[in-house]
Every structure is written in structure tokens, then in C-alpha cells.
């Protein structure tokens, strides 16, 4: 990276300034192109600063500020999008950041995630010691980390993004100080996450040893010119293996998934939604950057590994989800299944990685990430509402607490049903479009076995979604539950969470029927900045 900066200086600056080469001259920065990240950063710092200087803000203002910040960042990303489609992709900050549609697509996804999760968090935090700017600031910071991961064009930058996201998530997972489960979840995530980060960093180091650079663009050139087919580059392969371990942990792919159920269950519900949406989107973006963009040369080496990870995730996730009795754990295992589906897309991308016509793998993964993020936030949003009513603030998210939800809150039950059906991949929902895209990408490169395994796993996973639906619609509510709802002590849907869930449901159905525009957008992510 340093070498890159130096070359940047020598090529871009006028010869007269070459004399100044001894003093550090920063690379040229197109500040406006970085505006989504900067907006989020300003929001986070602003909230912390102003929040610490003022007394408690009026109801809902914290969430509103966070939402508006995320919304603005998302809107700015859309503006950048137009710039990219007009002028083609490029790199920023001396080749450290990629400025392409993949980055922007995921930036928008992450911003939507932050926006919806902030809306869910509002009512969750109301009246707790955590009510304040901190949680929201952490969301925004984590989002920056995620965006950096999604748009990194240098493995060190990618690692910075990963750590920014992870550190924020560790704190968020443990943020419910009154709950033991939350503390446990935070510690577990921290220890295992730290371990995974170490793997990841060591992988980068080995790759640096093999390629002599951490910059993705230079790495591709190096491997292209110096590859020796008869003498496989052991250093690079070892680095690749370690990177896959680190990434596998972050995306919660089996067999690196074991932290997922505990952390998802123990973390405060909105944080779970955040991890499942933003966390997953960022991790998969990083995976695409590392494997498909940086190491297409080793695609025949990493593709079988991804194949195995995909199959394991699909089977482990779907079969273990079925036997759970806690809805949050179910959704955790189902997120492993979804990771499996996403890996099917990554595997498909692996067949054509680095070629001029990159196929549909990348775009199907990007599309899946956006659709799944919105979906999962809606799902966990419902769980948040129901579990809070059923038990204490930690929430009782057991399957039983959903009994008779259709009788107690029909609209909520109907919305949840739509989201669950989408999760199962039933047509006319976004979930079907997402699955269809991934399966289509796999079939296109003739990965038939993987496509069939994925679809069969989806059937098993559907059983889990059906179990929740059975409890909602076909089981009678517990005694006194309906009276409690009427009296206002049962399930309470406040405005902002209701809006977030409704938005998720409407988006799910709308994209299910009219997916064209989104597919159009997702297809452009194949063109990557180099």
C-alpha cells in the first residue's frame, strides 16, 4: 500500500513537486465520492458529541437522527451510482478504495439496514439505561466498517473495515448490561471473532509474502504475470486458506457457524437483526472482494472449498433449524442456510471469476444480500415485539410465545407470515427472486448438484418456517393473552417498529412481483473497479 502511495505521488504530481517526495504527500482524495461514509461518520461523531453535552433527547429523536443519517448516506450512494454508471468504475484514495457499483449497491443495502434497525431499536431501548446516542452511534460506526469492507481495494483496508465492524458488533452484542445472555453473547462473539480476525490477518500476511503487495489491483497483475502452473504458490495457497477461514466465520458458514445461535439468541433483538443484515452483507461483500476480485487466479483452488462450505451450511443450517424451540435460534440457523445459498452464488461466480464476461454469480449474491437484509430485519423485528411482550426485556423468544399470534395481533401475524414465506422462498415474495437468481447463476455454470442440494435444503428449512406459522395460526393463544393485549400489557406495536416491519413486508411483496428494476441494478455490479 505504501508502495502504491509512492507511485501515486510520482505519477500524479507535477515533476516540480518530486523534490518534495521526501515529505509525505497524501493521495488525492475525491471527497464527494466518499460522501456516504463521511455522512455516517459525521452522524456518529455528532451524535456522540452533542449527545454527551445535552440532557436526554426527546422521545425517538436518537433513532430519528440515526435513521436520517443512514437515509442520507444511502441517497448519496445513489447519486454516486449515477456517476459510476456514467463514467465507469474507478479507485479512490490512491487505489485503496474501489469506487464501483458493487460497493454502492452494498452501501445502499447497509444504509437501508441501519435505517430499519434504528427504527426497531427505538422502542426496544425506551426506558432502559441504554437509551441514548451510544447504540445508534455504534450502528453508524459499524455501518462504516461494513461499507469499507464492501468497497475495499486493498486487503489491509478491508481488514480495517472488518475490525471496525466487528468491534462495534462485540459491544452491541453485549450492550444489554442487565442480561447475562447478552454478556455471554458478547464474550463468545468477541473471543471467536478475535480468533477469526487473527486468521484473516495472517492470511493477508502470507498473501503479501506471495504477491509482494496487499493492493488488490496490483495483486491481480502480479499473479497474472508471475504465475507458474507447475509450481503452485504454496504461500499464496496457505494465505488463501486462512482468509477463507476468517471469512467463513464472518459469514457464519458451516463449519464456522457455531457461534451464530448463541450470539443471535443472546444479543438484544435489534442487534441480532443488525448482525444478520449488515454484518452478513459486509462479510459477503468482503468475500467477493477477496476471492472473486483479488484471487480469480486461484479460482480452481478456492471454488471446491466454497462448494463444501455451501453444502455444509445448507444442510447443517436447515436440519438444525428444524429441531430448535426458540425462534431466534431458528432464525440463527436459518441464517446459516441463507449463507449456504449465498455461497452457491459465490461458487457460481468462481467458475467465471476474472473473465471478461463474469456471469451472474456476483450480481445474484448482491441481489440476495439486499433482499435478505430487508427480510431478516422484518422477521427479527416481529420477534422483538413478540418476545418483549411475552417475557421480560431480555425477551422470551420461544416458539410457544408465538402461540395464537393470529388471534392476538392479526396484522402482525399476517406480516410475519409473508416474511416467513419469503424466507422459505415461496413465489411472489422477494425471497423467491433471491433464490431464483442464485440458482440460476449456479445452473448457468452447470453446478447442478449444488443447485439441487440448495433447493432440497430449502424444503427442509421451509419446515422450520411452517412450524412458526403453525404456532401463530393454528395454536390457541395462552389464557388471558388476548385480554392482556386489549388492556395494553400484552404485545404492543409502537409506531416506528410497526413502520419498519410494514416497510419490510411491502418491500418483500413488491420486489416479489416487480423485481425487474432491482435485477437491473444488481446486474451492473459485475463491472468491478481495478
Partner 1 sequence: MAPLTEMMMAGLVAAEDSHGGAIAFPILTMLVLVPIVGAVAVAISSKRRPEIAKLIALMTSVGVGAMSIWLLSSFEMGEAGFQFSSQHTWIEQWGISYHVGVDGISLFLVVLTGVLFPLAIVGIDPHHDEKPYLAWLLMLEAGVMGSFLSLDLFLFFIFFEIVLVPMYFLIGGWGYENRVYAATKFFLYTMFGSAFMLVGLIATAMLAREDLGRLTFDLVEIAEGANFAASTGRWLFFAFAIAFAVKVPIFPLHTWLPDAHTQAPTAGSVVLAGVMLKLGTYGFLRFGLYLFPEAAVWSRSLWLTLAVIGIIYGAIAATMQKDLKRLVAYSSVAHLGFIILGTFAFTSQAISGSVLQMVNHGVSTGALFLLVGMIYERRKTRQISELGGIQKVAPIFAAGFMIVMLSSIGVPGLNGFIGEYLILLGSFQTARWWTVVATAGVILAALYLLWAYQRVFHGEPDEDNAKFPELRVKEGLVLLPFIAAIVFTGVYPKPLLDRIEPSVDALVEHVVENSDFEHPDYGSQCGNFEADHEGEAAESHSDEPAEHDPADTNCAADKNGAHHDDDDEGEETGE
Task: Return the number of the residue (119 or 421) whose C-beta is nearest partner 1.
Answer: 421
Question: Interacting stretch for partner 1, rule CB under 8 A, among 31-39, 300-308, 478-486, 513-521?
Answer: 513-521
Confirm or reject binding of residue 28 to partner 1 (CB under 8 A).
no
Task: Return the number of the residue (233 or 318) whose C-beta is nearest partner 1.
Answer: 318
Region of 94 please: left (phi>0), alpha (psi -120 to 50) or beta. left
Confirm or reject binding of residue 426 to partner 1 (CB under 8 A).
yes
CB of 515 to partner 1, least distance (A): 6
CB of 450 to partner 1, least distance (A): 10
Helix, strand or coil, per DSSP, at residue 379: helix
Strand partners, 398: 326
CB of 375 to partner 1, least distance (A): 17
Confirm or reject binding of residue 285 to partner 1 (CB under 8 A).
no
Which residue in the set 444, 484, 502, 506 belongs to the binding site for partner 1 (CB under 8 A)? Answer: 444
Which residue in the set 135, 149, 451, 528 belongs to the binding site for partner 1 (CB under 8 A)? Answer: 451
Residues 140, 43: Cα–Cα separation, whole Å? 7
For residue 497, give every residue at least 6 positions away whose Cβ sits within 8 Å of its Cβ, in sequence order, or none: 119, 120, 122, 123, 124, 381, 384, 385
Cell output for 154: 486493498
Confirm or reject binding of residue 436 to partner 1 (CB under 8 A).
yes
Residues 284, 278: Cα–Cα separation, whole Å? 10
* DSSP for 192-234, written as a single string: HHHHHHHHHHHHHHHHHHHHS--BHHHHHHHHHHH--TTS--H
How many residues contact partner 1, by CB under 8 A? 28
Which residue in the set 18, 178, 448, 483 belongs to the binding site for partner 1 (CB under 8 A)? Answer: 448
For residue 508, give every residue at least 6 positions away whose Cβ sits within 8 Å of its Cβ, in sequence order, or none: 371, 374, 375, 378, 418, 419, 422, 429, 430, 431
Confirm or reject binding of residue 359 to partner 1 (CB under 8 A).
no
Per CB under 8 A, contacts with partner 1 among 469-508 are: 470, 473-474
Question: Interacting stretch for partner 1, rule CB under 8 A, among 9-17, 70-78, 374-382, 421-429?
Answer: 421-429
Which residue in the set 10, 463, 476, 480 belongs to the binding site for partner 1 (CB under 8 A)? Answer: 463
CB of 323 to partner 1, least distance (A): 15
Contact 385, 491 (CB under 8 A): yes
For residue 396, give every residue at least 6 positions away whose Cβ sits within 8 Å of its Cβ, in sequence order, or none: 387, 390
Helical residues (DSSP H) of 391-494, grouped into ranges: 405-408, 410-424, 430-444, 448-473, 481-487
- Summarize as ranges the residues that interact with partner 1 (CB under 8 A): 421, 426-428, 432, 436, 439-440, 443-444, 448, 451-452, 455-456, 458-459, 462-463, 466, 470, 473-474, 515-516, 519-520, 523
Amino acid at each position: 500500500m505504501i508502495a502504491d502511495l509512492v507511485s501515486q505521488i510520482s505519477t500524479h504530481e507535477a515533476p516540480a513537486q518530486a523534490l518534495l517526495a521526501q515529505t509525505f504527500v497524501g493521495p488525492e482524495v475525491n471527497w464527494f465520492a466518499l460522501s456516504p461514509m463521511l455522512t455516517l461518520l459525521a452522524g456518529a461523531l455528532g451524535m456522540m458529541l452533542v449527545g454527551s453535552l445535552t440532557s436526554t433527547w426527546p422521545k425517538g429523536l436518537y433513532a430519528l437522527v440515526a435513521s436520517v443519517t443512514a437515509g442520507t448516506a444511502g441517497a448519496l450512494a445513489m447519486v454516486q451510482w449515477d456517476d459510476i454508471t456514467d463514467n465507469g468504475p474507478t479507485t479512490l484514495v490512491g487505489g485503496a478504495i474501489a469506487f464501483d457499483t458493487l460497493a454502492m449497491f452494498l452501501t445502499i443495502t447497509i444504509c437501508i439496514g441501519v435505517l430499519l434497525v434504528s427504527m426497531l431499536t427505538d422502542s426496544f431501548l425506551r426506558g432502559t439505561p441504554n437509551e441514548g446516542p451510544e447504540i445508534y452511534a455504534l450502528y453508524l460506526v459499524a455501518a462504516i466498517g461494513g461499507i469499507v469492507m464492501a468497497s475495499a481495494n486493498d486487503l489491509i483496508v478491508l481488514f480495517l473495515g472488518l475490525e471496525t465492524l466487528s468491534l462495534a458488533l462485540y459491544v452491541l452484542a453485549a450492550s444489554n448490561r442487565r442480561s447475562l445472555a447478552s454478556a455471554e453473547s458478547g464474550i463468545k462473539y468477541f473471543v471467536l471473532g478475535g480468533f477469526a480476525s487473527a486468521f484473516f490477518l495472517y492470511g493477508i500476511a502470507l498473501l503479501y509474502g506471495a504477491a509482494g503487495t496487499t493492493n488488490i489491483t496490483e495483486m491481480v497483475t502480479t499473479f497474472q504475470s508471475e504465475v507458474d502452473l507447475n509450481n503452485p504458490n504454496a504461500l499464496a495457497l496457505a494465505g488463501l486458506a486462512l482468509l477463507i477461514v476468517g471469512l467463513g466465520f464472518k459469514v457464519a458458514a458451516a463449519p464456522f457457524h457455531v457461534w451464530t445461535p448463541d450470539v443471535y439468541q443472546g444479543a438484544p433483538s435489534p442487534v441480532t437483526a443488525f448482525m444478520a443484515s449488515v454484518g452478513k452483507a459486509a462479510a459477503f461483500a468482503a468475500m467477493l472482494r477477496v476471492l472473486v476480485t483479488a484471487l480469480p487466479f486461484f479460482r480452481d483452488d478456492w471454488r471446491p472449498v466454497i462448494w463444501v462450505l455451501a453444502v455444509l451450511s445448507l444442510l447443517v443450517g436447515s436440519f438444525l433449524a428444524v429441531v430448535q424451540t426458540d425462534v431466534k435460534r431458528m432464525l440463527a440457523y436459518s441464517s446459516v442456510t441463507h449463507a449456504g445459498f449465498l455461497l452457491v452464488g459465490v461458487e457460481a461466480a468462481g467458475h467465471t471469476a476474472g473473465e471478461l464476461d463474469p456471469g451472474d454469480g456476483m450480481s445474484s449474491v448482491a441481489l440476495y444480500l439486499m433482499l435478505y437484509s430487508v427480510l431478516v430485519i422484518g422477521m427479527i423485528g416481529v420477534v422483538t415485539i413478540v418476545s418483549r411482550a411475552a417475557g421480560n426485556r431480555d425477551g422470551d423468544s420461544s416458539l410457544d410465545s408465538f402461540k395464537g399470534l393470529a388471534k392476538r395481533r392479526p396484522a402482525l401475524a399476517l406480516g410475519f407470515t409473508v416474511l416467513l414465506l419469503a424466507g422459505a422462498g415461496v413465489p411472489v415474495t422477494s425471497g423467491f427472486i433471491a433464490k431464483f437468481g442464485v440458482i440460476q447463476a449456479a445452473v448457468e455454470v452447470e453446478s447442478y448438484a449444488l443447485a439441487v442440494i440448495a433447493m432440497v435444503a430449502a424444503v427442509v428449512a421451509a419446515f422450520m418456517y411452517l412450524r412458526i406459522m403453525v404456532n401463530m395460526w393454528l395454536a390457541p393463544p395462552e389464557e388471558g393473552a388476548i385480554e392482556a393485549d386489549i388492556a395494553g400489557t400484552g404485545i404492543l406495536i409502537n409506531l416506528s417498529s410497526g413502520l419498519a416491519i410494514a416497510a419490510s413486508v411491502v418491500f418483500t411483496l413488491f420486489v416479489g412481483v416487480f423485481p425487474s428494476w432491482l435485477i437491473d441494478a444488481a446486474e451492473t455490479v459485475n463491472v468491478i473497479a481495478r
